[in-house]
Structure formats: C-alpha cells, structure tokens
Amino acid sequence: MNLKEIHTQKIKQKAKELGFFFCGISNADFLAEEAKQLDNWLKLGYHGKMNYMENHYDKRLDPRLLVDDAKSVVSLLLNYYTEDEQTDPKAPKISKYAYGKDYHFIIKDKLKEFYQFIQDEIGEVGGRVFVDSAPVMDKAWAKKSGLGWMGKNANIINPKHGSFFFIAEMILDLELEPDGPIKDYCGTCTQCIDECPTDAIVEPYVIDGSKCISYLTIELKDEIMPSEFKGKMDNWMFGCDICQSVCPWNRFSKPHSEPWFNPHEDLLKMSKHDWDDLTEEVFQELFRKSAVKRTKFPGLIRNISSLKE
C-alpha cells in the first residue's frame, strides 16, 4: 500500500468515527460540465433573489481558487433523518433538517476535529473545511466522489440511505485516491416532479429555485409571499420535504444517531393554534441555536400568515 492509499484509508476511517456515514474523494479539478449548467441556471433567473449565487463564480467551479495547490476534495454525508413527526396534522410544517440544533455548528465542530486529526496523523496539510459557508458546489463534489447520484429533484441520492443528509467538504493540498461517480438510478420515476405543488422542478434535474417552497420560506426576505403561490404551500412554514418524502429511495433512510439533531421537547407538540399565537419569546426558546433562526421571528410569522386562507 502506497502513501496515498494509506492517507486515504486513514481519512475514511476517521470520517466513520466522527459519524459521517459516507466519505468520498475527488481530484480538485475545474468543474467543466457544471460550469455550463450553472451559467444557464443563473441566466434563466432560477436563483430568484439569491444574488449571492452570482458571486465568486470562478471559485464555485475551481477549488484551487479556494485552497492554494488543492489536490483533493473530501466529501462527507451526515444523516439527519428522523421518524419523529409533528403531532398536529393541521399545524404548519417544518423541514426535518431543522428539528434540532443548527447543523452548521455540529458539522463545523466535527470538521475542525477532522482537520486537526489530519495535521496530527499525516502532517502539515493545507486546506479548508466547508458546510454551506462558501462558494462550494457540494452536490457536484458529492456526485463526483460517488456518494450518490443527482436525483431528478437535484438532491444527491445514496442507494443505501436515500437523501436525508447534510453534505460537507474538506479541500486539501494532499493527494488522495479518488473515487468515481456511480450510476443514476432514478430511471423513469417522476414522483418528485409530479408531487411538487409549486412546479419548482421545471424539468428532470433542474430546479427553478424561485418557485421552491424552501426558497419562499427561508431565502426570500422582506417580501410578502407571492400571490401566485397562495394555496400551494402545502402548509410548510419553514423548508419543505415533499420531493424527498415521495422519493422511493428514501424507504432506505435510517434514523440518525446525533443527539444534537433531536428536536426541542415542545416543538413537535405545537398545535396549529399554538403556531397561530406564536410569540417572540416562545420562538427564541424553541429555536435557540436552530437553523430556523435564519428566517427570524417576523419571517416565520410572515410564513405562517401566508398559509391562512
């Protein structure tokens, strides 16, 4: 076994110890195919008011612009699936990923430990760690490194675990053994396309982000919900899980084992009436260190109000 293989094995073993259920590696090269797709997506305005998607265009496509002399991109998956559900079927809904503590904190801590392990075990390795915090095309790298294929809903789907997971990366100036992509197993299935109430999946593998319920309830700021979506929100107040919930591959999802992702004890018990009468004090208590804080109290109230007939 050569040094590159030894380093790769050490990194994959440590990923497992830290709770990442998959770890894949790609060469840190320019994303040529994705460059065309990103350019077209932006030109069509599918990023809506997410103007930051237009920033750092070159860095999104070339990891060597983020880390000098980058050699490898290490992609990691962390499961957040839970069988827990909100008890009141009439209550406004919240995406499973936001039930517990904000994943940015959890994953960043794991990545810092991971990077320190590399320094201690392998040596002076330059690099950076990322989780939704920089211009990194995480799904493209996850696909390239064989963690899953890009589904028709533009989520990475793993054949053993479905798609309820977070994606993180380490870009390193260390040569590692790359993994290859896997086959697309969506086949003729169109359930995610058929079930999207706002028709955000405009064609297989292409999402009009400006129509996505997650965009409308999280990314869209300081605006009243567009009237064209009235009655189409399927009672979602933060995020949306529809295209994942209907995906047949998610029958393989298994509950996570990360205590920090467990919901606040009162969150799932909240009734429709409780949400309608939500106060800022209760909001702060329920969502302390939660991803839901992104939308802020006025934003969540706006979302809840938009669901009323």
User: In this structure, what DSSP letter does residue 215 have?
Assistant: I
* 3-state DSSP assignment of residue 11: helix
Task: Tokens 């991971």: give the residue.
Answer: 114
How far apart (Å, rounded) are the C-alpha atoms in residues 25 and 73?
6
* 3-state DSSP assignment of residue 93: strand
User: In this structure, what DSSP letter does residue 262 have?
Assistant: S
Cα-flanking dihedrals φ and ψ of residue 38, to 5°? -65, -45
Give the contacts of 121 (CB within 8 A, at least 6 positions apart): 10, 14
Identity of residue 297: F
Q: Which two tokens stand for residue 17?
A: 């110890």
How far apart (Å, rounded) are the C-alpha atoms in residues 38 and 54?
9
Identity of residue 2: N
Is 39 assigned a catalytic role?
no
Catalytic residue selected from 62, 88, 132, 184: 132
Give the contacts of 171 (CB within 8 A, at least 6 positions apart): 28, 63, 66, 67, 70, 72, 73, 74, 127, 128, 130, 136
Burial label for 105, CB within 10 Å (0-12, 13-18, 19+), is middle
Calculate ∠ Cα 71-73-75, nearest 5°.
Answer: 165
Count other C-beta atoms under 10 Å from residue 110's C-beta: 20
**b/e string for 264-286 if b means 16 or more Cβ within 10 A?**
beebbebebeebeebeeeebeeb
Question: Active-site residues: which are they?
Answer: 132
